Structure 1
Amino acid sequence: MKFHKEGYTTLALSILVVFVLNALVHFFYADNKALTWIVYFLSFALLVTVIQFFRSPIRKINGNDQKILCPADGKVVVIEETEETEYFNEKRLQISIFMSPINVHSNRSPVSGIVKFFKYHPGKYLMAWNPKSSTLNERTTIVVKTTSGAEVLFRQIAGALARRIVWYVNEGKEVKQGEEFGFIKFGSRVDVFLPIGTKIKVKLGDKVKGGITELGEF
């Protein structure tokens, strides 16, 4: 288990806040044991929350060009055939994974290939499970063309708590299945759009893991 690099600043600020708060309590309220223990508890809870949110587990990725791996930890909230209007302009199979604040929030490429399209969209911060969040919220859209010629679109979507999407890819970059392509802070969602006819291997409500769970098979 590692601590994700996106959390370094947040952890440093949290430690500073905890240090200052505890110093003030000890200076002004040294005789108030109840208040002292409350501050201890809140300080511990804050640091544990930050550490668990930015944890980055080491995972062994079993790559397979015929498989589509899950891009994020979370819960499958959408499986449906829908019209994808930003890039394909045709029907695709959409699978959406909702990431709660307690999930690992690093995002992994579901397939290997070349990034054929990338776009960042500033936007709103609706609840991540709101269907309109796919088109109205802050988001990125990434399309990877595999060696077989199939194209897979995946989209990072910020949630009500998320205020920063991070990505590590651009058009023309080669990506490997299961490698990290981005990170979203504090609750979010990832949509994946697959070719019609893809064999889906998950169902609604399934708990999934990024880079481990198989979403489908070409």
Structure 2
Amino acid sequence: MSVSMLSTFIKPMHPEGRRFVAIFAAITVVLFLIWDPLGWLGLGITIWCYYFFRNPERVTPQREGLLVSPADGVISLLEPAVPPAELNLGDLPLTRISVFMNVFNVHVNRAPIAGKISAVAYRPGKFFNASLDKASVDNERNGIAIELADGRQIGVVQIAGLVARRIVCFVKPGQVVDTGERFGLIRFGSRLDIYLPEGVQPLVCLGQTMIAGETVLADLTSDEAARKGGIR
């Protein structure tokens, strides 16, 4: 399968973005009528809005046990943390991998592994910078728990950020998802937290860039030690 130059730059847009692009486009028309420089500014913002809601295809690893990143972005936190109580993942610290999405990242979120949705829990909150540790506790969030065939569970939490004002989740309890399947999105800058099962080590490092549905975060079948990384 070949990849054309056009498809490298032009990506499909998620349906959630259509009305926003339409609103920005209508405003842009008015701005052009008022003053051309304002119109060009509006056009730039409209193009950015389309770009924000882009929904590219991804090639997801298929081997059993691989846990992939649910979001594009950069790993901003990698540490033990108690998962949100509403996900019923216990009250002991688990390894938490936080992926921070800036306003230029793809914001469509994908299931990190195949399984059954055992919980979906929304919690209102504040809008601190999503890169801060306290955002996991204080910010608006929506969490899902994915139950695996062996009974273990993975926690995934969508966290609103400084600019984000809307978390969208497409899945419901009892629904079965595949690895890499789209399950939600967050509008305009945010973060995702992933809670690994006890004893599972991360295969990524702080500061590493993630690609949703493609980058492997952990291998549930491996006893490999946590990886270390350095900036080059």
Both proteins in one fold, TM over 0.5? yes
Change over 3 Å in CA distance of 1:69–1:39 after alignment to 2: same
Cross-structure match for 2:51: 52
User: Aligned ranges for residues 18-57 of structure 1 at < 5 Å?
Assistant: 18-25=28-35, 36=36, 38-57=37-56
CA positional deviation for 1:196: 2.5
Aligned partner of residue 45 in structure 2, secondary structure: helix
Is the radius of gyration larger for structure 1 or structure 2?
A: 1
* TM-score, normalised with respect to structure 1: 0.91
Q: Cα RMSD (Å) of the superposition?
A: 1.2
Aligned residues: 207
> Residue 118 of structure 1 is aligned with which of 114, 117, 120?
120
Contact 1:14 1:47 in 2 (8 A): yes
1:84 aligns with 2:83: yes
Counterpart residue type for residue 153 of structure 2: E
Contact 2:71 2:109 in 1 (8 A): yes
Distance across 1 between alignment mates of 2:46 and 2:146: 37
Counterpart residue type for residue 3 of structure 1: M
Deviations 1:99-158 (A, max 9, x none): 000000000000111111111011111110121111111111110001122210010000
Contact 2:31 2:39 in 1 (8 A): no
* TM-score, normalised with respect to structure 2: 0.86
Counterpart residue type for residue 58 of structure 1: E
Cross-structure match for 1:32: none
1:62 aligns with 2:61: yes
CA positional deviation for 1:85: 4.7
Cross-structure match for 2:105: 103
Contact 2:79 2:96 in 1 (8 A): yes
Change over 3 Å in CA distance of 1:22–1:200 after alignment to 2: same
Distance across 2 between alignment mates of 1:209 and 1:85: 25
Cross-structure match for 1:28: none
1:215 aligns with 2:194: no
Aligned partner of residue 93 in structure 2, secondary structure: strand
Contact 2:160 2:190 in 1 (8 A): yes
Counterpart residue type for residue 198 of structure 2: I
Aligned partner of residue 127 in structure 1, secondary structure: coil
Distance across 1 between alignment mates of 2:198 and 2:150: 15
Distance across 2 between alignment mates of 1:117 and 1:12: 34
Cross-structure match for 2:150: 148
Aligned partner of residue 171 in structure 1, secondary structure: coil
**Runs of 5+ consecutive residues of structure 2 not aligned to the other structure:** 1-10, 221-232
CA positional deviation for 1:201: 1.0
Contact 1:63 1:178 in 2 (8 A): no
Distance across 1 between alignment mates of 2:112 and 2:177: 10
**Runs of 5+ consecutive residues of structure 1 not aligned to the other structure:** 26-35
User: Percent identity over the alignment?
Assistant: 34
Distance across 1 between alignment mates of 2:185 and 2:38: 31
Judge which range, 2-11 or 76-85, deviates more: 76-85
User: Aligned ranges for residues 167-178 of structure 1 at < 5 Å?
Assistant: 167-178=169-180
CA positional deviation for 1:4: 1.0
Distance across 1 between alignment mates of 2:103 and 2:84: 29
